[in-house]
Structure 1
Amino acid sequence: MKKITQILSLVFASLLLLTACSENPEPQLNTHYSQLPNDISDLVEQPVVEVFSLTCGHCLQMEKFIPEIEEGIGQPIGKVHVTFNESAQAAAMFYYAAAMQSETGKPDVGMMTALFNAYHANAELPAEERTQLLIDAYKERGLVSPYDLDDEQKQQLFEEVTKAVDITGKGMINSVPTFVVNGKYMVITSAHNDLPSIVNTIKYLIAKG
């Protein structure tokens, strides 16, 4: 009887260990994350940045979860707007014009919602009407739209977008949303089933250095 009890104890202990391991498995290279072809740590200001586009529907869905991910990793997440096609480049102008007028360097939740909605909630609108929605989002918040920037602000916007172009090109980033960690690793978000697994991978890459 004592021997049977010992065996059962070992079995239960093994099961507990397996469960613990399965909850936080070590992320795998080229499965859960990839290594960027070029180090872009000189171009990004924070250890973790979300790479996104206002024109991306999946990025719209990811936006609502950013606060939870930030809480999970214990630090704020920066943002980089991609510029890998013409529509993304145009959207980047609107994003960075708002970002550079924010005290935190990122538009607040209300502004991000308005910008995303202009592209997605009104997808059937003609381009002119969508542009007007974007301009109205600025005016409603006392911000200057990209069309009304002064020369100094235009130069700043040009520099911000140029940096985004450099990050997109040097990092060879062609899909969003994703997270770049330490300027060297990119999270493969589609390989994760839930937010805790994304948090787990980001924390692993932060520690990896």
Structure 2
Amino acid sequence: MTINFPKFSLIALLTPLFILAGCSEEPTTPSAGKEYQQLAEPLSNLAPVTEVFSLTCGHCRSIEAFIPELEQATNQEIGKVHVTFNESAQIAAMIYYTAVMQSDTPISHSTMDELFAAVQMMGQVTQEEQKAAIESVFESNSWASPYQIDDQQQSEMLALFQEADDISIKGRINSVPTFIINGQYQVNVSAHEDIQSIANTINYLLNKE
């Protein structure tokens, strides 16, 4: 299976929202099949708002910069699940969950950006240079790198990886970035013009019966 990156406007994502809420039009009600879809099977043990992403995805890296804005607009701390739907995503997921299992708090946005940058070096630098970049991110956080973890740490990482794999399969997730709301709905990010419209859909789904 290949990664289908949604073709939404990066300009819209990278441009601040200049129109004040009080001067803008009322948001339209999101439509099933357009702005969101209901999952064929509900997912459990997820945060009310969960971002599904891959460190290999350029659009996911763009969205990461706006996660604090989305958290403020939705009044939710956004959880994360790394997809595992192809070999490159699986390798990246192992890198991500090696970090997660060593962190007592959610990984900071600055560290996430460093992980995105290191993983997305593939094809631009040698394997040794990429490995050094990944190790540098882990060393700066006083974590063992994916190349250094012991057997117990590897078991912990693989348990997190398996949970993510189960979610990817059960949720039939085949494109990223996306958001899962209340374990029941998937936001179609590509159908939105900007971050505020994504937040509007998330808020609608959070309150949907």
Q: Are residues 1:96 and 2:104 paired?
A: no
Aligned residues of 1:43 and 1:163 also touching (Cα < 8 A): no
Aligned residues of 2:60 and 2:177 also touching (Cα < 8 A): yes
- How big is the shift at 1:140? 2.0
Change (3 A) 1:21 1:116: closer
Aligned residues of 1:38 and 1:184 also touching (Cα < 8 A): yes
> Gaps (5+ residues) in structure 1?
1-18
- How big is the shift at 1:120? 3.1
Partner of 1:68: 69
Larger gyration radius, structure 1 or structure 2: 1
Partner of 1:27: 30
Which runs of at least 4 in structure 1 moved beyond 4 Å after TM superposition?
A: 19-22
Partner of 2:59: 58
- How big is the shift at 1:133? 1.1
- TM-score normalised by length of structure 2: 0.85
Q: 1:37-58: CA deviations, max 9, x gaps?
A: 1111x242x1010000000010
Partner of 1:16: none
Q: Any residues of structure 2 matched to 1:169-180 within 5 Å, and which?
A: 169-180=169-180
Aligned residues of 2:121 and 2:130 also touching (Cα < 8 A): no
Alpha-carbon separation, structure 1, partners of 2:63 and 2:122: 19
Q: 1:181-205: CA deviations, max 9, x gaps?
A: 0111000011000111110100010
Look up the equivalent residue of 1:56 and give its one-letter code. C
> Gaps (5+ residues) in structure 2?
1-21
Alpha-carbon separation, structure 2, partners of 1:22 and 1:127: 50
Q: Structure 1 or 2: larger helix share?
A: 1
How many equivalent pairs are there? 188
Alpha-carbon separation, structure 1, partners of 2:32 and 2:125: 42
- How big is the shift at 1:169? 0.3
Q: 1:100-129: CA deviations, max 9, x gaps?
A: 21122x321232121111133575112332
Partner of 1:134: 134
SS in 2 for 1:54: coil
- How big is the shift at 1:150? 2.3
- TM-score normalised by length of structure 1: 0.85
Q: CA RMSD in A?
A: 1.8
- How big is the shift at 1:22? 4.9
Alpha-carbon separation, structure 1, partners of 2:45 and 2:101: 16
Alpha-carbon separation, structure 1, partners of 2:152 and 2:121: 33
Look up the equivalent residue of 2:168 and give its one-letter code. T
